[in-house]
Structure 1
Amino acid sequence: MIIAQTPFRMSFFGGGTDYEGFFKEHEGAVISTTFDKYCYTTIRHLPRFFDYSNEIVYGVMERTKSVDEIKHPAVRNIMKYLDMHELRVVYEADLPARSGLGTSSSFAVGLLNACYALKGKYADKRKLADDAIYIERVLCNEAGGIQDQIAASFGGFNRIDFRADGYTVSPIVFSTDRQKELNNRLMLFFTGFSRFSSDIAQSQIKATRDKTAELLEMKALVDDVQRLLVSGSDLNEFGRLLDYTWKLKRSITSDISNNDIDILYNKAIEAGALGGKLLGAGGGGFLLFYVEPEYQQNVRKVLEDLIYVPFEFENEGTRIMYYRPEYFDIKTMKEIL
């Protein structure tokens, strides 16, 4: 049995510039972090006492006789990609899926990590990120960027740069005290709305060519924010720039926000938040705000109908938290049967 723990991520600046159609022509960059909310992927070989060969549990339960019959696209494609057979896969998570935290990519990274471990093979963080990008963007043919897979694999508070020939992950080095101060001024709320990010991504991809100027400005903000974090500049500027980048992002396509989200956002700003954004591709999920300590109670009060989620930054990325490998030889098993 293998259990993989993989963090979720929050992207602060540069989201949208990690789409292949943009960064291959203009290059891209994001600033993001992983935090202490995780998905847990448990896998083991299924004992041969049942009339099915695979059991996949992720809110629903699938029991199939072949890998091709598995409906979950990531599970099906990862099992075929790594030549895995007769598995029991269980997905559990601290936070809901389709909520703007890169949950589907965290699951893909975690499942890949667990499958490699079950096969007795080591895969480093770049290998896991690259494989997850290939699984989701090529084999599953899902629209979107590539920052989520990288963040989930590497973990930490990073700047990620995207070029036509690859990507670079660079930890942003600033003092522990300053990082803690930033963490303490960020507030996370669940809107209760969920959506499929690939649907939002499709509309964003179509709009990219007409919104190049906005995306280039969002990319330029990554440099500004990195300088802000590593210097002694007023940290409140981080909040003001969050507000600015959110307004840029929501101008790309009408699918990114909606009237309900705008009302919630404006309530928080009026209560004292300096800025914020909807995490992920848009359309629903989690709202993140930068709020000075003296205004945080006001913001919680005006958003009392939403679930408030305290969190702390994390630095590990995906990891195997339980490792008990199993011997499995499908050829031998077929001969026995």
Structure 2
Amino acid sequence: MLLASCPLRISLFGGSTDIPAFIEKYNFGSVISFTCNLKTYITIHRDTFGYNIDKGLYIINYSKKEEVKSISEIKNDPVRVVLDHFNIDPLTISLTSDSYSQGSGLASSSSYLISLIKAIAIFKNMNFSNIEICNLAHKLELKFNPFCGFQDAYGCGIGGLKKIDFEKDGTIKYNFLESKIFNFYDTHLVFTEVTRNSSTVLQDVTKNIDKAKSLIPVLEDAHKALISENYRYFVELINYSWEEKKKTSKLITGNTKVIELDNYFIKNKSVLAHKLCGAGNGGFFLLISEKGKLNINMPSVKINLEPLGVSGKKF
């Protein structure tokens, strides 16, 4: 048996500029994000004489259980595309996560893909670097989510707080940033109790891709603020960027629950900054507050920076 894990990513600035349509038009995109201590986990096992070997069944365990004879029958998208790519014979795969896995805005699909690719690589004694795993994960995710941006795979698989630049020729550039800001502020997640298909929102953003252009100057200002340790301004820019982000598609705040929470966080003085994670219209709100001073009337989960990316080992 072997285990692989990959952190989820929290996007702070630049979301939507990593969409292929934006990069194609403006020649580049850029995001600032960090990996958090919430992760996805994959375990892989092939029995000696049982369902895998004797009966030729793929056993896939997640919120559902699948027992199928062929890869094409697998309904779980990440598992199906990875097993098909590597042409894997029947085995047993279990998927679990520290968070809600579908429609969370935390790039869970990409994280699962990366975890599974890492697990398969160990299983087959293949030596992939983490960036090679990210490259493959993005390529495979496009097969079932053609509107996904670059930041999910490249933000999950490589750990830390970082600025990532995506160029039209396919070049990916990482600028790893000092994480001292986490010494001064807490980061929490609040679940909206709404899950959504990110493809619907991303498709709408793609139709109005020019509106995302305003996010780049905000990101550049945030990058400068972080480098100069002007953390208060950096936090203020998260709010400004969120307001600009909402202008890129009406679907981002397309339901009553999200709108109610957004307005509540705007009025709550203990919340210095907030934004929806991912494409929007559901999933998790990210909240920034002073250390130990968040005061809200709903459940939240405190998250921390995870400096490492994907990892795995055999037992």
Q: Smaller-chain TM-score range?
A: over 0.9
What SS does the corresponding residue of 2:250 show, helix, strand or coil? coil
Give per-residue Cα distances to partners, 1:231-290, cap 9 Å, x unaligned: 132x22222211111111111111111332122122122121232110010110111122
What code does the residue aligned with 2:195 have? S
Aligned position for 1:158: 162
Distance 1:32 1:241 in 2: 14
Asked if 1:310 is matched to 2:311, the reply is: no
Query: Matches of 1:33 and 1:232 in 2, distance apart?
Result: 17
- Using the size of structure 1 for normalisation, the TM-score is 0.87
Q: What TM-score comes out, normalization by structure 2 length?
A: 0.93
Task: Give the equivalent residue in structure 2 for 1:8.
Answer: 8
Distance 1:269 1:283 in 2: 17
Match of 1:37, SS state, is strand
Contact kept? 1:188, 1:287, Cα under 8 Å: yes
Query: Partner residue of 1:132?
Result: 137
The whole-number CA distance in structure 2 between the counterparts of 1:243 and 1:36 is 23
Cα pair 1:4 1:110 within 8 Å, conserved? yes
Q: Does structure 2 retain, via aligned residues, the 8 Å contact 1:8–1:34? A: yes
Q: 1:178 matched to which residue of 2?
A: 181
What secondary structure is seen at the aligned counterpart in 2 of 1:255? helix
Picking from 109, 120, 123, the partner of 1:118 is 123
Q: Is the 2:5–2:42 contact (alpha carbons within 8 Å) kept by the matching residues of 1?
A: yes
**Residue number in structure 2 paired with 1:253:** 249
Distance 1:312 1:251 in 2: 29
Identify the residue that residue 228 of structure 2 maps to in structure 1: 231
**C-alpha displacement at 1:293, in angstroms?**
4.3
Q: Which moved more, 1:1-10 or 1:271-280?
A: 271-280
1:282 partner letter: G
Task: Return the alpha-carbon distance in structure 2 between the equivalents of residues 268 and 3 of structure 1.
Answer: 38
Residues of 2 paired with 1:54 and 1:232: CA distance?
51
Q: Is the 8 A contact 2:190 2:301 kept in 1?
A: yes
Alignment of 1:236-315 (within 5 A): 236-257=232-253, 258-272=255-269, 273-293=271-291, 295-297=293-295, 300-301=296-297, 304=298, 307-315=299-307
Distance in 2 of aligned mates of 1:271 and 1:73? 39
Asked if structure 2 preserves the Cα contact closer than 8 Å seen for 1:172 and 1:226, the reply is: no
Higher helix fraction (1 or 2): 1
Contact kept in structure 2, 1:109 and 1:129, CA below 8 Å = yes
Q: Percent identity?
A: 29
What is the CA distance between 1:180 and its match in structure 2? 2.1
Seen in structure 2, the aligned counterparts of structure 1 residues 145 and 47 have a Cα distance that, compared at 3 Å, is same
Amino acid aligned to 1:65: K
Tell me how many residue pairs correspond in the alignment: 308
C-alpha spacing 1:248/1:105, structure 2 compared with 1 (3 Å) = same
Secondary structure of residue in 1 paired with 2:252: coil
Write out per-residue CA displacement over residues 138-164 of structure 1, whole angstroms, 9 at most, x where no aligned residue.
Answer: x32532211110111111111010111
Unaligned runs of 5+ in 2: none
1:37-76 correspondence to structure 2 within 5 Å = 37-50=38-51, 51-76=55-80
What do you get for the CA RMSD once the two structures are aligned? 1.7
Distance verdict in 2 for CA 1:169–1:87, change over 3 Å:
farther
Could you tell me whether the CA contact under 8 Å between 2:114 and 2:133 is conserved in 1?
Answer: yes
Q: Using the alignment, how far apart are the partners of 1:270 and 1:224 within structure 2? A: 25
Q: Which amino acid aligns with 1:315?
A: P
Mapped contact 2:163–2:177 kept (Cα < 8 A): no
Distance in 2 separating the partners of 1:290 and 1:37:
17
Deviation at 1:83, TM superposition (A): 1.4
For residues 111 and 134 of structure 1, the distance between their equivalents in structure 2, rounded to whole angstroms, comes to 14
Letter of the aligned partner of 1:241 in structure 2?
L
Per the alignment, residue 108 of structure 2 pairs with 103
Deviation at 1:181?
Answer: 1.6
Match of 1:323 in 2: 314
Contact 1:6 1:38 in 2 (8 A): yes
- For residues 207 and 72 of structure 1, what CA distance do their matches in structure 2 show? 31
Cα distance in 2, alignment partners of residues 195 and 201 from structure 1: 11
> Aligned partners of 1:218 and 1:289: how far apart in 2?
19
Unaligned stretches of 5+ residues in structure 1: 325-337
